[in-house]
Amino acid sequence: MPLIEVSIAVGRSPEQLRSLISALHRCAEQEVGAAPENTTVILREVPTTHWSKADRTIEERRSEPAAGP
């Protein structure tokens, strides 16, 4: 009985999120033989101000000027 949890930054359309859910269900069915009715997918959308890497949030990185030549 797979439980698939995904954290993703806020900003995708409802259609993109729905497509991701479907793809995860298909993958569980194809790769591990999970029955569709027994598979649960949870998407957690995280605000870009609450997600950081190397001590900079996604929002901070997006706000920085692009590095150019």
Domain boundaries, the chain: 3-61
HSE of 55, CA atoms in CB hemisphere, 13 A = 0
How open is the CA angle 12-63-43, to the nearest 5 degrees? 25
What architecture (CATH level 2) is domain 3-61? 2-Layer Sandwich (3.30)
Distances (CA, A) of 46 to 13, 27, 29, 50, 56: 14, 23, 27, 7, 15
For the stretch 23-43, pLDDT in tens is: 999 999 999 999 999 999 999
Tally of CB atoms within 10 A around 3 = 10
Phi and psi (nearest 5°) for 15? -65, -40
pLDDT, position 49: 96
Residues 35/59, Cβ–Cβ less than 8 Å: no
Average pLDDT, the chain: 94
